[in-house]
Amino acid sequence: MKSLTGQLLIAMPQMTDPRFARSVVYICAHSGGEGAMGLVVNKLLASLTMDELMGHLKLEATRLERARPVHFGGPVEPGRGFVLHTPDYREEATLVIGDGFAVTATLEILRAIGRGEGPRQSLLALGYAGWAPGQLDAEMQANGWLSVPADADLVFADDLDSKWQRAIAKLGIDLSMLSTDAGHA
């Protein structure tokens, strides 16, 4: 299977795992030999805002113009933070992914966001979704996920409730026509 890096995974309607049901996952890295890593972009941690997190980390949030949510990035390492953002912000630890996205997992990016000097668009996620080598490929073949090219309008949109439907609409698919059986369309 070709690399899904920079793509969005869309959970199929029959996904029963509550952590991933109706989820949209931005794939940060994917290779056959190393597995895959992604961030869920349409689920929030209801118990935490970015202001609260920055307060816990003793970081000033002087330039946050609005309350910013913290996303549930996935079930792996839920205490680890990742900022998915536009590539206009870069530091040594930034991983640039394709043309329109980058990911940085440092306190410095949070400081920059707090000062109003961070990336143009971003979302903060705690935890990530991870797959062992071959695992994501097998889940795709078993009809667990669809993939679509990522775009900033969808990834960084505030309307989380519509992201799943909007991602599927990018494929031009009628949800009622999707089969839950592998090998069928």
Residue 81 lies in a domain: yes
Residue 184 lies in a domain: no
Give me the DSSP letters along 13-52: TT---TTTTT-EEEEEEEETTTEEEEEESS-EEEEEEHHH
- Count of CB atoms within 10 A of residue 89's CB? 20
Q: Is the pLDDT of residue 82 over 50?
A: yes
Residue 182 lies in a domain: no
Q: How confident is the model at residue 164 (pLDDT cuts 50, 70, 90)?
A: very high
Residue 101 lies in a domain: yes
pTM beyond cutoff 0.75: yes
Q: Taking all residues of the chain, what is their mean pLDDT, rounded to a whole number?
A: 88
- Count of CB atoms within 10 A of residue 62's CB? 9
Query: What tens digit of pLDDT does each residue of 132-152 get?
Result: 999 999 999 999 999 999 999
Residue pair 66/57 in contact by the 8 Å Cβ criterion? no
Domain limits for position 114: 7-177
Q: How confident is the model at residue 52 (pLDDT cuts 50, 70, 90)?
A: confident
Residue 2 lies in a domain: no
Q: Which residue has the higher pLDDT, 18 or 68?
A: 18
Total domains present in the chain: 1
Residue 1 lies in a domain: no
SS3 81: strand
143-171 mean pLDDT: 93
Q: Tell me how far apart the alpha carbons of residues 125 and 71 are, in angstroms, rounded to a whole number.
A: 4
Residue 109 lies in a domain: yes
Residue 162 lies in a domain: yes
Q: Which residue has the higher pLDDT, 152 or 16?
A: 152
Q: Is the pLDDT of residue 101 over 70?
A: yes
The torsion angle over the Cα atoms of residues 47, 79, 121 and 112, rounded to 10 degrees, is: 110
Query: What tens digit of pLDDT does each residue of 22-44 get?
Result: 999 999 999 978 999 999 999 99
CATH number at residue 99: 3.40.1740.10
